[in-house]
A = this chain, B = another copy of it.
Amino acid sequence: MSVITLMTDFGIKDGNVGVMKGVIWGICPTAQISDLSHMIQAQNIREAAYVFARSVPYFPKGSIHVVVVDPGVGTNRRPMAAQIGDWFYVGPDNGTVTGLLERAEQSGWQTDFVELNRVEYWLKDISYVFHGRDIFSPVAAHLANGVSLHELGTPFNDPVRLQLPKPEQTKDGWRGEVTHIDHFGNISTNIRVEHLGDAIGQKENIVVRLNGIEINGMVNTFGERSVGEIIALIGSTGNLGIALVNGNAAAKLSVKPGDEIFIISDPKGLREAPPRRSEGGRDL
């Protein structure tokens, strides 16, 4: 019984996501299909890459992840399937896999890429504008049925990669960027718990600055502060986050993706251990 997820910028009102499920079940009737998100901002590949990288590791080995945020549909951008570690990606070769690829390289996971070109695994009629339905869903379903990656197309090894911003060390800490604003208005950044090194053991000494405000000391969770306070904490996938207890931090602070954020801490703690990703949460 295979798991397939769908992530798109299609929204939820037009039936297109349902149609993809219909196509999948027509080929692989037992697939367990989950939506990941269909509210990715239109054409925002970077947001898709962010949600993809942090979500996929929680899915079972062998799960197949279809992502269709695809401004280049119908042009000569490559349709692609890939194995990255224990999981499969199916979608356009447009950089969506960048974040997970970085993690694969840090963790020594295997990767394998094919350009989809075996039309016998696609729908018979291919539109110019909906490859999610015509190519990617049927390919995912055939993968779920046990067709191997290399039967689906021609191997290649230069997938498109996004230039994701990296935190930079400063004299007293790190400069990072806001990467995502979630449904609650919580702010995620690209500074990770590993950047903080031993300093994380003395949360009360850490200072965070963004958009003209300064947060003194970090906390572990929301309930440690009163409703209405701005807090800094490590989010559920290890990234530095800023939140407003029971409120919308991004709205209150007028923060948006790309804004810069500084973290200032005990220089000793910050400069020791090189940043390295934990395997946090992957093992059940």
Show the binding face of A for B, using Cβ within 8 Å: 1, 3, 5, 7, 9-19, 21-23, 25-27, 29-30, 32-40, 42-43, 51, 54-55, 58-60, 63, 71-75, 77, 123-125, 127-130, 133-134, 138, 180, 182-184, 220-224, 233-237, 246, 278, 280-281, 283-284
Contacts of A39 in B (CB 8 A): 11-13
CB–CB A5/B29 < 8 A? no
In the bound complex, how far is the Cα of B40 from the Cα of A230, in angstroms?
Answer: 23
**A22, closest chain B residue (CB):** B59
In the bound complex, how far is the Cα of B130 from the Cα of A233, in angstroms?
Answer: 13
CB–CB A12/B12 < 8 A? yes
In the bound complex, how far is the Cα of B42 from the Cα of A226, in angstroms?
Answer: 16
CB–CB A58/B133 < 8 A? yes
Taking A10-B183, A15-B36 as contacts, is the C-beta distance between A221 and B128 under 8 angstroms? yes
CB–CB A133/B221 < 8 A? no
Candidates B22, B26, B38; contact of A5 at CB < 8 Å: B22
CB–CB B25/A129 < 8 A? no
Candidates B1, B73, B222; contact of A221 at CB < 8 Å: B73
6 more A-B residue pairs beyond the given contacts A72-B223, A74-B220, with a C-beta to C-beta distance below 8 A: A26-B284, A29-B60, A71-B222, A74-B222, A123-B284, A124-B281
Shortest CB–CB separation between residue A151 and chain B, in angstroms? Answer: 17
Candidates B34, B72, B125, B284; contact of A280 at CB < 8 Å: B125
Contacts of A1 in B (CB 8 A): 29-30
Can you list 27 pairs linking A and B with CB atoms under 8 Å apart?
A: A1-B30, A5-B18, A12-B37, A13-B182, A13-B183, A15-B55, A16-B55, A17-B35, A18-B34, A18-B36, A22-B59, A23-B58, A25-B32, A26-B59, A42-B184, A58-B133, A72-B222, A74-B222, A75-B221, A75-B224, A77-B223, A123-B281, A123-B283, A123-B284, A124-B284, A127-B234, A133-B281
CB–CB A223/B134 < 8 A? no
